[in-house]
Structures are given as structure tokens and as C-alpha cells.
């Protein structure tokens, strides 16, 4: 992917940035000149991603963080060394238990990670976003938050809630020059999707899902990272409050 330095001098915080689309976005942000702070709970994947960014000449800082830790997340955010954060990609998320099998614990955990954590981080970090010249906040939702998916109840509800938070946020912070958008990937080939197919959370095989897509393929991590870079950069300076499907035309 082309890498003109669109984020030179900017600081980007990415949650869930150690794997899949979050990793691809972290690498692309770094290749475009940003200092990337990655917060993820997977220590080994964090180290691997940091090594790859450093080897490519990028700047990266890693933090082992479980965004579902309701006691620890706020203090961690308050303790960050960076007074200015220009780009926030809130990517960490959980699929929840599919079908009718959810229980209170699973429902709570999914809502905490997919909705509470992005809201809490946004609240805690707002002074640092305001300190930036024109911060861009990006939240990974899903096409499941826009359109019905059979049997995907808790997850769909959580992503719809996240989208509505982002829209309210966008109109609230626009006067401060801060933008907020949701990205809504369709089925995207990541370790998470392969796990979800294997355990039945997502129905069908990768090939079957691709066959139903207008472009006859599933999304790639680069499809999503490229959209995240566009939203992070000045190229999208007048776009805010959107929930953008990245799904090969499936939502058209
Ligand atoms: N893959 C898809 O088809 C698809 C489609 C739509 C939306 N999404 C969304 O994308 C995100 C998942 O990304 P992916 O598919 O690249 O998955 P992935 O499993 O490859 O990466 C997710 C990353 O998030 C981290 N993470 C998960 N829970 C965390 C927590 N509580 N605290 C900190 N880090 C945590 C994981 O360690 C991992 O590094 C989720 O928000 C998911 O809802 C995925």
C-alpha cells in the first residue's frame, strides 16, 4: 500500500492494534509518520507488531491493557504521558456469544468492551483530543450495527449502540474541531473472523461469505486500514458523524 506521510508529527492511539485490522492500521499509521501507541491485552502480539513497525522505520509505543477492566482502564488513560493525541482508533471488540445462548455475564462483557470502553476512553482522553489541532476519532463498529444479521443479537446491539454514541459525539465535539466517525467492516479476513467461523458465531465458510458479496470476496485488513488512514488524515477534514460500511457494496 502507498505510504506518503499523511500523519507526520501526529500521535495515534490504537486499541486492539496488535492483530488483524488494528495491526494493519497501526502499521499504516506508522508508515505515514505517526507515533503509534498500541493498547492491547495480548502481550506476545503486541511485541510482534512493535517489532514489525520498528523494523520498517516507524515509531511505536506498546501498552498491555485490557479495555474491559472497568477499574483499571480510566487510571491507565489518565496516566498516559502524551498531552496531545491527534488520532484515536478504537478497534478492540468482542463478538459476544451468537444465537440465543447469551447470558448476563456474556452480555455484560460484550457491552463493556464494545460500548463502555470506547465511551470511557473518549471521556478520559478528551482534554488530549482538544489539545490537538484537529483530532480524528475513529471507532470500529460493524455492518452488523447497521443491518440485520441472523442470530447476531448481542454483538449487533452493541455495535448499533456504538454507532449512535459516535454520532452524538460527533455533533458534540465538532465546535472543538474534533471529528468522530465509525467504520463498519463487513466480513473481513482476520484471526477473529476465522475463530468466529470455526466456533459457529458466524455462519458459513469464507468462500460462502465471499460468494454472497457483490465484489465476490471478503474484506482484507488493508481495505479497513486504508479507510482508517483516510479518516485519520486531513483528506477527510469535513467528514464527521458517519458510519461508513467497508463491505464491497453489500450495504448498497
Ligand atoms: N473480522 C471481521 O469480520 C469484523 C467485521 C466487523 C467488525 N469487526 C470488528 O473488528 C474488531 C476486531 O478486529 P479483528 O477482526 O481485526 O480481530 P483480531 O482478533 O484479529 O484483533 C483484535 C485485537 O483486539 C485485541 N483485544 C480484544 N479484546 C481486547 C480487550 N478487552 N482489551 C484489549 N485488547 C483487546 C486482541 O488482543 C486483538 O489483538 C472488533 O471491534 C470487531 O467487532 C470485525
Looking from the CA of residue 19, the nearest atom of ligand 1 is 39
Report the distance separating Cα 122 and Cα 112, nearest Å. Answer: 14
pLDDT tens, per residue, the chain with 252 residues: 444 689 999 999 999 999 999 999 999 999 999 999 999 999 999 999 999 999 999 999 999 999 999 999 999 999 999 999 999 999 999 999 888 999 999 999 999 999 999 999 999 999 999 999 999 999 999 999 999 998 899 999 999 999 999 999 999 999 999 999 999 999 999 998 999 899 888 889 999 999 999 999 999 999 999 999 999 999 999 999 999 999 999 999
Give 215-226 pLDDT, tens digit per residue.
999 999 999 999
- pLDDT, residue 1, reads 47
Provide the whole-model pTM.
Answer: 0.97
Output the residue whose Cα is nearest ligand 1's atom 37. Answer: 42
**Residue 48 Cβ contacting ligand 1 at under 6 Å:** no
**Residue 185 Cβ contacting ligand 1 at under 6 Å:** yes
- pLDDT, residue 187, reads 95
- pLDDT, residue 156, reads 97
Smallest Cα–Cα separation from 136: which of 17, 241, 22, 31? Answer: 241
The secondary structure of residue 112, as a DSSP letter, is I
Q: Does residue 98 contact residue 201 with C-beta atoms inside 8 Å?
A: yes
Q: Does residue 96 contact residue 154 with C-beta atoms inside 8 Å?
A: yes
Smallest Cα–Cα separation from 114: which of 186, 163, 180? Answer: 163
Edge-to-edge strand list for the sheet holding 59-64: 59-64, 35-40, 11-15, 87-90, 136-140, 179-185, 243-246
**Residue 142 Cβ contacting ligand 1 at under 6 Å:** yes
Walk me through the domains of the chain, giving residue ranges and CATH numbers: 11-188+220-246 (3.40.50.720)
Phi, psi values for residue 65, rounded to 5°: -140, 135
Q: How far does residue 129's CA lie from ligand 1's centre (Å)? A: 23
Q: How far does residue 91's CA lie from ligand 1's centre (Å)? A: 6
Output the residue whose Cα is nearest ligand 1's atom 36. Answer: 16
Report the distance separating Cα 169 and Cα 217, nearest Å. Answer: 33
139 catalytic? Reply is: no
Give 38-91 pLDDT, tens digit per residue.
999 999 999 999 999 999 999 999 999 999 999 999 999 999 999 999 999 999
**215 in helix, strand or coil?**
coil
Q: What is the DSSP string of 42-90?
A: -HHHHHHHHHHHHHTT-EEEEEE--TT-TTTHHHHHHT-S-S---EEEE
**Residue 190 Cβ contacting ligand 1 at under 6 Å:** yes
Amino acid at each position: 500500500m502507498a505510504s506518503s506521510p499523511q500523519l507526520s508529527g501526529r500521535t495515534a492511539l490504537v486499541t486492539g492494534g496488535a492483530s488483524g485490522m488494528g495491526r494493519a492500521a497501526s502499521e499504516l499509521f506508522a508508515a505515514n509518520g505517526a507515533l503509534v501507541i498500541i493498547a492491547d491485552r495480548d502481550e506476545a502480539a503486541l511485541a510482534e507488531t512493535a517489532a514489525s513497525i520498528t523494523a520498517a522505520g516507524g515509531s511505536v509505543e506498546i501498552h498491555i491493557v485490557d479495555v474491559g477492566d472497568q477499574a483499571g482502564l480510566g487510571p491507565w488513560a489518565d496516566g498516559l504521558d502524551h498531552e496531545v493525541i491527534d488520532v484515536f482508533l478504537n478497534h478492540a471488540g468482542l463478538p459476544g456469544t451468537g444465537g440465543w445462548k447469551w447470558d448476563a455475564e456474556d452480555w455484560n462483557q460484550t457491552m463493556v468492551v464494545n460500548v463502555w470502553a470506547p465511551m470511557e476512553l473518549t471521556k478520559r482522553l478528551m482534554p488530549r483530543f482538544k489539545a490537538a489541532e484537529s483530532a480524528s476519532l475513529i471507532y470500529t463498529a460493524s455492518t452488523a450495527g447497521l443491518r440485520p444479521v441472523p442470530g447476531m443479537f448481542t454483538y449487533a446491539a452493541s455495535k448499533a449502540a456504538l454507532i449512535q454514541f459516535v454520532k452524538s459525539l460527533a455533533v458534540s465535539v465538532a465546535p472543538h474541531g474534533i471529528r468522530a466517525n465509525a467504520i463498519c467492516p463487513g466480513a473481513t479476513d482476520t484471526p477473529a473472523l476465522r475463530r468466529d467461523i470455526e466456533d459457529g458465531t458466524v455462519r458459513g465458510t469464507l468462500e460462502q461469505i465471499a460468494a454472497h458479496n457483490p465484489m465476490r470476496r471478503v474484506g482484507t485488513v488493508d481495505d479497513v486500514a486504508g479507510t482508517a488512514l483516510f479518516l485519520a488524515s486531513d483528506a477527510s477534514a469535513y467528514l464527521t458523524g458517519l458510519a461508513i460500511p467497508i463491505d464491497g457494496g453489500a450495504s448498497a
